[in-house]
Structure 1
Amino acid sequence: MDYSLDLGAVTRNFGPLLEGLWVTIQLTLAANVIGLVLGFVIALLVMSRVALIRVPATAFVEFFRCTPAIVQIVWFFYCVPMLFNIYLGSMTMGIVALGLNLAAFNGEAYRAAIQSVPREHRDAAVALGLSPLQSTLHIILPTAFRLAIPVLLTNGIVIFQQSALVAIVAVPDLMYEAKSLATKTYRPIETFTIVALVYFAVSFPISQLVGWLERRRSVAMA
C-alpha cells in the first residue's frame, strides 16, 4: 500500500476536533445528570410493590438495556417529531436519548446498591421517626450512591464513548468533526487514530479511578 502518514494534516486542523470534543463533553455531562437523577427514581419504581408502578418502570429499563443505543438515538431523532409533534434540536435529542439510556443502566446499579444497604440503617431511620421520603433522601440515597459509585463511573465512561453515535444524526461532536476532517484532508488513518487516542485519554484515567475505588471498597469491607 503506497500511503505515507502525515499527522500534520490533522494537527494543523485540530480546532474543529477540539470544538467537537467540547460538544462530546457537554453531551456526556448532560446525559450523566439525567442518568444519575432519573436512574435513582427508576430504581425506586422498579422496587415498588405496586405492579402498576413496577411493571412500566421495569419495561423502561429492559427496553433501553436490550436495544442498541444507535437505534434509540435514531428513533428519538426521527420518530418523536412525527409521533408527538415535538421538534427539538439534534443536540437536545441526543442528550435525551443518551440520558434515558444511561438512566436505565444506572437504575439497575442503584437497585443493586439499595438492596445492599444494611438493614440496620433502615431500622435506625424508623427509630428516629423519619418518614419514608426522609429515610430515602437522607439515608438510602447517600448510602446507595456511595456503594454504586464505581458502576456509575463505569456507565459514565460508556456513555462518553457511545456519544460518538450521535454523529449519525449530524450532531457536531468529536466523531462528526473527525469524519468531516478525514473527508476534507483524505487522511482517515491519521484522523481516526488521533480521535481514538483522545477518547482513550479521557476514558483511561476514569477507568483507573474506578479500579482504585473498587480496591478501596474491598479493603474497607475486609
Structure 2
Amino acid sequence: MHYHFDFSFLYSSVGTLLDGLRVTLELAIAANVMGVVLGFLLCLIVMSRWAIVRWPAQLFIEFFRCTPALLQIVWFFYCIPMMVNVFVDPIVMGVLALGLNLTAFNAEAYRAGVQAVPKEHLDACVALGLKRRQRTLFVVLPQALRSAMPVLMTNGIGTLQQSALVAIVAVADLMYVGKSLATEAYRPLETFTIVALIYFALSFPIARLVHIIERRQDAAMQR
C-alpha cells in the first residue's frame, strides 16, 4: 500500500489550528500557575504536625496521583455540574481538573525540596528571631523551589500533554480541532502528524531547559 501525503489542505485551516493552540496554551499556562502555587501550600499542609490537617491533604494527593487523568477530567465535566446544578465554562473546568491534578504532583516535588533544606538554615532562622511565615517565605520556599524546579517543569510538560485529554469532552483545544479536521478531510495521517509536531515544538525546548538546570544543579553539588 502506497500512501501519498498531502498537507496542502491544511493551509486553509491554519487559523483553526491556531485557535485550538490558543486554547491549549490557556489551559496549560493557567493549570501550571495553579499547580505551582497550590502545590506549595498543599506541601505545607501535608507536612503539618496536626494529623487532622495532614490526612485529608494526603488523601487528596493520593486520589489525584492514583486515578487516571482522563477519569478526573470526565468526572469534573459531568459530575460536578450534576452535583451543584451549576453550569461552569468548559475552559474553567478544564483548568480546574488539570490544575488540581498538577497540584498533587507538585506538592510531592515541593516536599522533597523542603526536606532538602539544610537544618542549619532553619536553626539560623530561629537564632535570628524570624517568624514562621518569614522563615517559610524567605528561606524555605526559595530553596525548595530551586531544588524542585526540574521536577516542576517536567510536571508542567506533562500537563501540557495531558491537556489534549479535554478533547474527549468537546473542549476546542488543539487535539479536538485536529480530530475534527482529520474527520472532515479524511486525512488523519497528515493532520495528527502536524498536531504531534506542534506539541513536540512546545515541549522540547522546556525539556532541554530542564536538562540544563539538572546539569547545573549536579555541578553545584559536586563543588
Q: Normalising by structure 2, report the TM-score.
A: 0.97
Which residue is 1:148 aligned to?
148
Mapped partners of 1:11, 1:72: distance in 2 = 35
**Superposition deviation, residue 128 in structure 1:** 1.3
Aligned to 2:96: 96
- Which digits, 9 at most, give the CA deviation of each residue in 1:7-28, with x for residues without a partner? 1112331111111111101100
Counterparts of 1:137 and 1:221, CA distance in 2: 24
The equivalent residue for 2:121 is 121
Q: How does 1:1-150 map to 2 (within 5 A)?
A: 1=1, 3-150=3-150
Distance 1:135 1:204 in 2: 36
Distance 1:52 1:86 in 2: 31
Q: What is the rounded CA distance, in whole Å, between the counterparts of 2:123 and 2:19 in structure 1?
A: 51
Q: CA deviation at 1:150?
A: 0.4
2:12 and 2:84 map into 1 onto residues whose CA distance is 44
Structure 1 window deviating more from structure 2 (86-95 vs 28-37): it is 86-95
Q: How many angstroms does 1:2 deviate by?
A: 5.1
Question: Could you list the per-position Cα deviations for residues 30-56 of structure 1 after superposition, in whole angstroms to 9, with x for gaps in the alignment?
Answer: 001110010001111111111111100
Distance 1:75 1:125 in 2: 44
> For residue 10 of structure 1, what is the amino acid of its counterpart?
L
The one-letter code matched in structure 1 to 2:129 is: G
| 3-state DSSP of counterpart to 2:194 | helix
The one-letter amino acid paired with 1:83 is M
**Could you list the runs of 4 or more consecutive aligned residues of structure 1 that deviate by over 4 angstroms after TM superposition?**
none
2:86 and 2:125 map into 1 onto residues whose CA distance is 43
| Aligned partner letter, 2:156 | G
Work out the CA distance in 1 between the residues paired with 2:12 and 2:187.
Answer: 12
Q: Hey, what's the Cα distance between the residues in 2 that align with 1:112 and 1:87?
A: 38
Q: What's the CA shift for 1:79?
A: 0.4
Q: Distance in 2 between matches of 1:180 and 1:55?
A: 44
Secondary structure of the structure 1 residue equivalent to 2:59: helix
- Structure 1 counterpart of 2:90, one-letter code: S
Say how many residue pairs are matched.
222
| CA shift for structure 1 position 209 | 0.4
1:218 corresponds in structure 2 to 218
Could you say what secondary structure the match of 2:52 adopts?
A: helix
Q: Which moves more between the two structures, 52-61 or 5-14?
A: 5-14
> 1:57 & 1:163 partners in 2: Cα distance?
24
* 2:186 match: 186
Q: CA deviation at 1:167?
A: 0.7
- Give the root-mean-square deviation of aligned CA atoms: 0.9
Query: How far has the Cα of 1:125 moved from its partner?
Result: 1.0
- Consecutive unaligned residues in structure 2, runs of 5 or more: none
Tell me the alpha carbon deviations over residues 130-187 of structure 1, each in whole angstroms, 9 at most, x when there is no partner.
Answer: 1111110111011101111000000000000000000111111000100111111111
